[in-house]
A and B are shown apart, each in its own frame.
Chain A
Amino acid sequence: MFTTDSRFHMRIFYLLMAVFATSWCAFSQHSLSGKVLTNTGVPLDGAHIHIENGHALSLPDGTYTLTGIATGSHRVVISYVGYKSLDTIVDFHKNEVLNANLNPDITQLNEVVLTEKLLNKDIAPIQKLSVQTLEKYSSGSLGDALKELPGVSALKTGTTIVKPVINGLHSSRVPVISNNVRLEDQQWGTEHAPNLDVNAAGKVSVIKGASALQYGGDAVGGLVVVEPLRVQQDTLFGKTVLTADSNGRGGTISSSLHKGAAQGWAWNAQGTFKYYGDRETPDYILSNTGNREANFSGDFGYIGESYKLTGFYSFYNATIGIATTTHIGNVTDLVRAINSGQPVVTNPFTHSINNPRQEVQHHLAKLNFEKDFEDGSALNVQYAFQQNLRKEYDLRRGSFADIPALDLTLVTHSVNADWKQETDANTFKAGVSGAAQHNDASPDTGVRPLIPTYHKYDAGAYAIASHSFGNSLTAEVGARYDFSHMDADKFYQKTRWTALGYDGVYDHFITQDFGTQWLTNPKFTFHNVSASAGVRKDFGESLSLLGNVGLAVRNPNPGELFSDGLHHSNATIELGNLGLKKEQALKASVTVQANANSFRAEVTPYINSIRDFMYLRPTGVEYTTRGAFPVYSYRQNDALLAGADLHTEWDVTSYLKHSLNAAYVHGTNTDTDEALIDMPPLTFSNTFRYTNAGWHGFFAEVRSEAVLHQTRYPNYDFYADVPINGELVPTLVNISRPPKGYHLVHLSAGRQFSIGKTQASVNVSVYNLFNTNYRDYLNRQRLYADEAGRNVQIQLKFNY
């Protein structure tokens, strides 16, 4: 059974990789173009088209173009894993068209990718970012790139710290899976962006909801699955992307080399450097907002006849400046920042990064063994090691300036074994996983750590079965069990312990008396069961219906349990809660995929009912020598999120395409009947793209991004005494109201060219063309400063 899913993701392209053209030769040159389809007419995304020493990949709509072909007869091979190759001779005297219909080859499943099906017969709506989109964000981050998908927005801190928000949920509710390893990078923190290099990703998928039980049962919001580029042919190819940006006055260089093999040794290596200075709004410089990255990833493996052994290592190393203006001392400073409407102090542009800043490093090393058995089953066994080092430097006095205010080392060992068996109508997946984690909160900071030292152990097992009832109906059910045990060493000020109401309730956690502080040893054990069920019904080629229900269970994270102290970036005291229970989300969604020749649409309405939703809510104001601070405490209520994501594509002509993304989510605290905080407002993104493959792959694109005003928000404004004209005046601190909506226009154009045998392309883009002043509700910088203004970007890509 084949589906039309990929057609709905036409805007998501795969790059025309490595077109080794026989250019500049004396003969006249021709092009070969066409469409690669299955025998049932479904486009094949990523099929290889070889012509002697050149090759190309087909786009999601199956189209491909090869240029620079000399006059004469040439052998053309079109291949796709799992399909019989087309091998033919074409006589070139003019530009030729070759359309291919490939037949499935059941015996030739030479590589089983556990995380992905060969065809888009996914039961859950999975949205993917292509290499092309990822390259566009070479100088940005994963979170920036994911915003291109409907229903995915970005929770930002400044310009460079970007976290994906799926259908209104983020952080611990949206696990990120990097190369089949669950990323453990202090992801509980809203100011902690995923520690991975977007340039290392070959494919990024978003699964909205709990449908991917093999990765965990706690994806209350959804999952982001990042996979590196895989090469299956016996080829060696390289790629370099150079990006220069006017805003930030810096650049990015990312290079990779890939040695693929059908059998034998294969390896990949990839590195990225980024260097940026202060970002600029239309009116002023955002002081101290530069960033640096120096990343590496690579693997080395042996592919046998029925097995594959791979060692992988990646290193992410970033220094990120935090806008000076967002570092404030107390509520008085906050009120001043809100009222002044712009930073009080802006310094001249600089590339240097001072405090406050984040220095984060993430090591990921893994060993992976895949084995295919003759009965059609496959086993994947993996061990992964992760070390996450996070140092946050603050504006501190004297000798403390060079000592981080937060210094965490998180080490995670994880193992998993996944087994999969596919027969004609059935797919069965099962697996076990285990993880041991240790967080070390350095006491040398001179600041009581936000997150304590702790140990955590996890174990899980899952099984997922799917069955095809004929050609048009497929159903899937899955279940998962997770065990988790956490054991922390946490110091509490005795006054805080008492104020939190822990006296007499959690006395059994106290292990030692340190005068003004208690040393406690809180222990928590959780047993969770999560489940998913889905069904897909295809009505011919033009309509598909997908229905999914998932139950996700998430345990309170260390931040929610133990947070205890002052947050300088927003002048709040955040308090964890030892009494938190696990959060349970039941999400149901229906996806309608419609396809009418030149128009395609996918709409997914959903409802996510969350029991014991954990969130921060203001619970008072505290006074210290530093001044007044609002206190936010973790609370639990039932929540209901309902919304819809829409994506449409329309081929206006064969050259001009329009695409639309729209998303809305309505989040409510059903216990208090308040709106949920930080819900993305209604968003529309319209793109017109003109492409003319015949003219050196030329494209020009205009994109309009409209973010409406969020009118539903909880009112967390509070009063605090602020000195005004020498008197302390109770003043309303206006922190809740979301900023106005905004509309941005982005332009982009590019074409391909050849330098000898190297296929190259140049793209010129202008982001925020009209240099619009705006603030975004989901940016924690919004109370202090505008978003970055216009950015002119020039990007050069080389495939060799």
Chain B
Amino acid sequence: MKRFKVSVLTLLTVGMLASCSDDDTAIAPVNEEEVITTVTASFSPVGGGSVVTLTSRDLDGDGPQAPVVTVSGNFAANTVYNGAITFTNEMVNPAEDITAEIFAEGDHHQIFYQQNGLGTFSYTDEDEDGNPIGLTVAYTTAAIPANGTLTLTLVHHPEKTAAGVAEGNIANAGGSTDAQVSFPVIVQ
């Protein structure tokens, strides 16, 4: 019995030692490769004039800091602007432009332009099925001076054929939001 107990203790010890082997490998931080930190929308007036650039940049990704929003200037009333939007991940070095990837997967993405009284946005691009993506857009500013908020929303897996979605109405789009940024916009 005594010998038995000793052998039990030995077994326990061996078991513990065997399990304590360290298998540490070099520890590396995770590169947040999928995060969109920066959304840039550039609007060029069709007849020439100063470009308006809207930028939202959040360099800590899902971290506590809020995005820093900048608007380079005001829009001119009753003017048509050609808009192009880019998405970038600046958490990796060098920064990664995600725009081309969104275009390549255009049938699974759509950008919505939500505002009230700032004018009209109409899509100028389309995916392989002929549905809009929204990476480029024609913005006809309001006829009279206005100010308000422009919210750009990138939706992943939207229901593109649902009512109103192709016209830019987000209500029936479903899917999940990959980016949603808001800019204070002045039309004068």
Interface residues of B in 142-176 (CB under 8 A from A): 148-149, 151, 153, 155-157, 159, 162, 170, 172-176
Look across to chain A and name the residue whose beta carbon is closest to the beta carbon of B149: A728
Q: Check A447–B153 contact: CB distance below 8 A.
A: no
The yes or no answer to A400 lying at the interface (CB within 8 A) is yes
Look across to chain B and name the residue whose beta carbon is closest to the beta carbon of A459: B16
Instruction: Determine the distance from Cα of A455 to Cα of B155 in the docked complex, in whole angstroms.
Output: 40
Q: Check A491–B15 contact: CB distance below 8 A.
A: no
The yes or no answer to B129 lying at the interface (CB within 8 A) is no
Question: Nearest Cβ in chain B — how far from A375, in angstroms?
Answer: 9
Q: Check B64–A395 contact: CB distance below 8 A.
A: no
Q: Check A727–B11 contact: CB distance below 8 A.
A: no
Q: Check B182–A723 contact: CB distance below 8 A.
A: yes
Look across to chain A and name the residue whose beta carbon is closest to the beta carbon of B105: A398
Q: Check A573–B33 contact: CB distance below 8 A.
A: no
Q: Check A489–B62 contact: CB distance below 8 A.
A: no
Q: Check A726–B114 contact: CB distance below 8 A.
A: yes
Look across to chain B and name the residue whose beta carbon is closest to the beta carbon of A622: B64
Q: Check B180–A517 contact: CB distance below 8 A.
A: no
Q: Pick from B19, B37, B175: contact of A625, CB below 8 A.
A: B37
Which of the segments B24-32, B45-53, B71-79, B131-139 contacts the partner chain? B24-32
The yes or no answer to A694 lying at the interface (CB within 8 A) is no
In the complex, which residues of chain A have a beta carbon less than 8 angstroms from the beta carbon of B176?
327-329, 333, 395, 568
Question: Nearest Cβ in chain B — how far from A350, in angstroms?
Answer: 15
Look across to chain A and name the residue whose beta carbon is closest to the beta carbon of B1: A373
In the complex, which residues of chain B have a beta carbon less than 8 angstroms from the beta carbon of A89?
none
Question: Nearest Cβ in chain A — how far from B39, in angstroms?
Answer: 6
Q: Check A443–B11 contact: CB distance below 8 A.
A: no
Q: Check B60–A625 contact: CB distance below 8 A.
A: no
**Known contacts A328-B177, A625-B36: A415-B16 contact under CB 8 Å:** yes
Q: Pick from B58, B91, B180: contact of A330, CB below 8 A.
A: B180
Question: Nearest Cβ in chain A — how far from B19, in angstroms?
Answer: 3
Instruction: Determine the distance from Cα of A397 to Cα of B63 in the docked complex, in whole angstroms.
Output: 20
Residue of B15, B155, B174, B179 with most partner-chain A CB within 10 A: B15
Q: Check A723–B153 contact: CB distance below 8 A.
A: yes
In the complex, which residues of chain B have a beta carbon less than 8 angstroms from the beta carbon of A15?
none
Instruction: Determine the distance from Cα of A327 to Cα of B178 in the docked complex, in whole angstroms.
Output: 11
The yes or no answer to A240 lying at the interface (CB within 8 A) is no
Q: Pick from A397, A491, A514: contact of B105, CB below 8 A.
A: A397
In the complex, which residues of chain A have a beta carbon less than 8 angstroms from the beta carbon of B151?
723, 726, 728
Measured as residues with beta carbon below 8 angstroms from the partner, the interface class of chain A is 35 or more
Question: Nearest Cβ in chain B — how far from A505, in angstroms?
Answer: 17
Q: Check A332–B153 contact: CB distance below 8 A.
A: yes
Question: Nearest Cβ in chain A — how far from B16, in angstroms?
Answer: 5
Contact with A along B5-34 (1 / 0, CB 8 A): 000100110011011101100011111111
In the complex, which residues of chain A have a beta carbon less than 8 angstroms from the beta carbon of B12?
381, 415, 417, 432, 434
Q: Pick from B18, B31, B67, B114: contact of A723, CB below 8 A.
A: B114
Contact with A along B90-129 (1 / 0, CB 8 A): 0100000010011011000000001111100000000000
The yes or no answer to A383 lying at the interface (CB within 8 A) is yes
Look across to chain B and name the residue whose beta carbon is closest to the beta carbon of A377: B1
Question: Nearest Cβ in chain A — how far from B90, in angstroms?
Answer: 10
In the complex, which residues of chain A have a beta carbon less than 8 angstroms from the beta carbon of B104?
398
Which of the segments A421-429, A493-501, A662-670, A747-755 contacts the partner chain? A493-501
The yes or no answer to A371 lying at the interface (CB within 8 A) is yes
In the complex, which residues of chain B have a beta carbon less than 8 angstroms from the beta carbon of A329?
155-156, 175-178, 180
Instruction: Determine the distance from Cα of A778 to Cα of B162 in the docked complex, in whole angstroms.
Output: 32
Q: Check B58–A624 contact: CB distance below 8 A.
A: yes
**Known contacts A447-B30, A495-B65, A625-B181: A345-B15 contact under CB 8 Å:** no
Look across to chain B and name the residue whose beta carbon is closest to the beta carbon of A334: B177
Measured as residues with beta carbon below 8 angstroms from the partner, the interface class of chain B is 35 or more
Look across to chain B and name the residue whose beta carbon is closest to the beta carbon of A725: B116
Residue of B114, B151, B162, B177 with most partner-chain A CB within 10 A: B177
Q: Pick from B102, B105, B149, B181: contact of A726, CB below 8 A.
A: B149
In the complex, which residues of chain B have a beta carbon less than 8 angstroms from the beta carbon of A432?
12
Look across to chain B and name the residue whose beta carbon is closest to the beta carbon of A371: B4
Q: Check B11–A448 contact: CB distance below 8 A.
A: no
Question: Nearest Cβ in chain B — how far from A403, in angstroms?
Answer: 9
The yes or no answer to A438 lying at the interface (CB within 8 A) is yes
Look across to chain A and name the residue whose beta carbon is closest to the beta carbon of B20: A436
Interface residues of A in 621-650 (CB under 8 A from B): 622-627
In the complex, which residues of chain A have a beta carbon less than 8 angstroms from the beta carbon of B141?
none
The yes or no answer to A106 lying at the interface (CB within 8 A) is no
**Known contacts A344-B159, A381-B8, A726-B114: A499-B153 contact under CB 8 Å:** no
The yes or no answer to A565 lying at the interface (CB within 8 A) is yes
Q: Check A438–B60 contact: CB distance below 8 A.
A: no
Q: Pick from B20, B29, B36, B64: contact of A496, CB below 8 A.
A: B64
Q: Check B39–A625 contact: CB distance below 8 A.
A: yes
Contact with B along A354-398 (1 / 0, CB 8 A): 000000000000000001010000010101000000000001111
**Known contacts A395-B176, A625-B39, A723-B114: A495-B64 contact under CB 8 Å:** yes
Look across to chain A and name the residue whose beta carbon is closest to the beta carbon of B11: A381
The yes or no answer to A205 lying at the interface (CB within 8 A) is no
In the complex, which residues of chain A have a beta carbon less than 8 angstroms from the beta carbon of B4?
371, 379
Instruction: Determine the distance from Cα of A397 to Cα of B177 in the docked complex, in whole angstroms.
Output: 12
Q: Check A624–B8 contact: CB distance below 8 A.
A: no
Instruction: Determine the distance from Cα of A754 to Cα of B136 in the docked complex, in whole angstroms.
Output: 72
Instruction: Determine the distance from Cα of A332 to Cα of B38 in the docked complex, in whole angstroms.
Output: 19
Instruction: Determine the distance from Cα of A344 to Cα of B36 in the docked complex, in whole angstroms.
Output: 25
**Known contacts A495-B60, A495-B65, A728-B151: A400-B177 contact under CB 8 Å:** no
Instruction: Determine the distance from Cα of A343 to Cα of B176 in the docked complex, in whole angstroms.
Output: 12
The 6 closest A-B pairs by CB, nearest first: A329-B177, A413-B19, A726-B116, A344-B174, A627-B180, A436-B19
- 25 A-B interface contacts by CB (under 8 A): A329-B177, A332-B153, A332-B177, A333-B177, A383-B11, A400-B33, A415-B11, A417-B12, A443-B28, A446-B33, A447-B30, A455-B22, A493-B61, A496-B64, A519-B27, A566-B62, A568-B176, A625-B35, A625-B37, A625-B56, A626-B180, A627-B180, A725-B116, A726-B115, A727-B116
Contacts A329-B156, A332-B153, A383-B11 supplied; 8 other A-B pairs, CB < 8 Å: A332-B177, A345-B174, A443-B30, A446-B32, A623-B67, A626-B62, A626-B180, A723-B149
